[in-house]
Amino acid sequence: MTDLSLSNRTIASKPAPPNAATAFRFPTQWIGVAPFFIFTIMFLILPTLYLVVGAFQDGNGHLTLDNLLQLVSDPSISNAYWVSIKISFWSAIIGAFAGLALAIAIVRGGLPNWIRSATLTFSGVASNFAGLPLAFAFIATLGRVGIVTALLRDVFNLNIYAMGFNFLTTAGLIVVYLFFQIPLMVVIIVPAIDGLKKEWGEAAATLGATQAQYWRMVVVPVLWPSFLGTVILLFANSFGAIATAYAFAGPALNIVPIKLYSQINGDVLHNPQLGYAIAFGMIVITGLANVFYIWFRTRSERWLK
């Protein structure tokens, strides 16, 4: 006689065969991020590949290095790179130190909380305030007939343009770029300053360290990776800016983004292959800057966890 109960238990213990209807699961978890990847591929990866390939081709599609060699041999292009690097370097350095001082003041300066909230809100807005609106704001404020220029001239008898002030110079463009560089520094460095643990200061005080020693031996070593990483990010942010400079001076200002724009869209200097080479040089510089930024940020997060 067959033991039906044992047989049933054996059958029940066996894993059920996969159901063909339920084995396939539609990857719905990817639907939410699909637009991001589609956007990245269409507007970042594919255009970048197109530019890189075009930098190594002539007008007939043949491989050549002439476009890249022209970046060095053409004085106007090499000078444009040098001017852009100077503007980016000084706007990053000045913006970083000014933003760091402002961030330390609002986080550890003992100010009311509404000061911190108002400053961070303004910084978030100002860090994205660039291009034509920023150019108009500066022209309306510090242009030749701007409100501050007229106020200084009529009330204080101080003509800043007679003293040599001009937006269409390296120094003038650095001043304009600082409007969004300093707020961007504040937005990025405040979380790092918040990460400084109160116990570190108490431990330093218990061991007899002065405030200067605490800042020199604890705060600076912890913050310097975040600081250097943000400086590099500010450099890349300034190096690729074009709208503000173009709104001020048009193609007359010799910086790399305007030179690139003139080569691709200009009627006189139209040379797309050379434009691709200029863009390739910008990709290399900003890419290296972002690699160093990620490296410094990883080191800072190791301390601030």
141-156 pLDDT, tens digit per residue, is 888 888 888 898 888 8
Task: Tell me how far apart the alpha carbons of residues 92 and 98 are, in angstroms, rounded to a whole number.
Answer: 10
Summary mean pLDDT of the chain: 83
User: pLDDT at residue 52 above 70?
Assistant: yes
Q: Give tens-digit pLDDT for 182-206.
A: 999 999 899 888 888 888 888 888 8
Look at residue 97 in the predicted model and tell me its pLDDT.
94
Cβ atoms 223, 192 nearer than 8 A: yes
**Does residue 14 or residue 291 have the better pLDDT?**
291
- pLDDT over 70 at 12, yes or no: no
Separation of alpha carbons 222 and 229, rounded Å: 13
CATH value of 78-302 in 3.60.150.10, 3.40.50.300, 1.10.3720.10, 1.25.40.10? 1.10.3720.10
- Confidence category of residue 6, pLDDT binned at 50, 70, 90: very low
Q: In angstroms, rounded to a whole number, what is the distance separating the alpha carbons of residues 199 and 213?
A: 15
Helices of type H across the chain: 4-13, 20-23, 34-40, 46-55, 66-73, 75-108, 113-126, 132-142, 147-155, 170-194, 198-206, 211-214, 220-239, 243-249, 256-265, 272-304
Percent of residues, the chain, with pLDDT higher than 70: 90
pLDDT tier, 224 (very low <50, low <70, confident <90, very high otherwise): confident
Residue 46 · residue 37 · CB < 8 Å:
no
Judged by DSSP in three states, 57 sits in strand
Rounded (10°) angle between helices 75-108 and 170-194:
40
- pLDDT above 60: residue 165: yes
Q: Binning pLDDT at 50, 70 and 90, where does residue 90 land?
A: very high
